Amino acid sequence: MTLRGAAPTDLGQLLDLYLHLHEDSIPQEDAHLRATWQQILDDPNHHVIVCEEDGRIVSSCVCVVIPNLTRGVRPYAFVENVVTRQDARGRGHATPCLDRARELAMAAGCYKMMLLTGSKDPSTLDFYRHAGYNSADKTAFIQWL
């Protein structure tokens, strides 16, 4: 198992991995997709963490460090797109991704990390609790645009 930041050549594998998240198709490769991918890669506060097994990306998460004017002008981190390939679940690939996200957030001086999930699956929720997240401190609201 290899844990690392995403490389420019990982786009295709990541898009395929996202089919195991909630996507039902891979976006068309066009100038907009390539520009968005480059924007993510160029942003020092945007971290795409991948876990590889046998040269194949099997798990990933995104950690974005967000500058902030409160809490002593300390940033916070937002974790999103936590996903593991269906055929690799339950084998310990996502935990190192979340651990790396925590390391990045701590190194950036973040005072908190936030993670939202749409899953109601008790095993998924238990996984996040075991990783150190709780659902008691904040109430999340989402407005889809």
**How is residue 103 written in tokens?**
């390391």
- Mean pLDDT for 15-34 is 93
In the structure, what pLDDT confidence band is assigned to residue 24 with cuts at 50, 70 and 90? confident
With respect to residue 78, please indicate whether it lies within any of the assigned structural domains. yes
Query: What is the average pLDDT value for the chain, to the nearest integer?
Result: 96
With respect to residue 24, please indicate whether it lies within any of the assigned structural domains. yes
In the structure, what pLDDT confidence band is assigned to residue 62 with cuts at 50, 70 and 90? very high
- Mean pLDDT for 139-144 is 90
With respect to residue 87, please indicate whether it lies within any of the assigned structural domains. yes
What was the pLDDT predicted at 23? 83
* Ramachandran angles phi, psi of 102, nearest 5°: -65, -40
Question: Based on the structure, what is the number of domains in the chain?
Answer: 1
What was the pLDDT predicted at 104? 98
CA distance linking residue 68 with residue 11, whole number of Å: 30
Residue 75 has pLDDT above 90, yes or no: yes
With respect to residue 100, please indicate whether it lies within any of the assigned structural domains. yes
Residue 22 has pLDDT above 90, yes or no: no
- Kindly report the pTM of this predicted structure: 0.94
CA distance linking residue 109 with residue 68, whole number of Å: 11
With respect to residue 143, please indicate whether it lies within any of the assigned structural domains. no
Residue 41 has pLDDT above 90, yes or no: yes
Contact 128, 94 (CB under 8 A): no
With respect to residue 85, please indicate whether it lies within any of the assigned structural domains. yes
Domain enclosing residue 18, as ranges: 2-131
With respect to residue 90, please indicate whether it lies within any of the assigned structural domains. yes
With respect to residue 73, please indicate whether it lies within any of the assigned structural domains. yes
Give the CATH number, domain containing residue 36.
Answer: 3.40.630.30
What was the pLDDT predicted at 48? 98
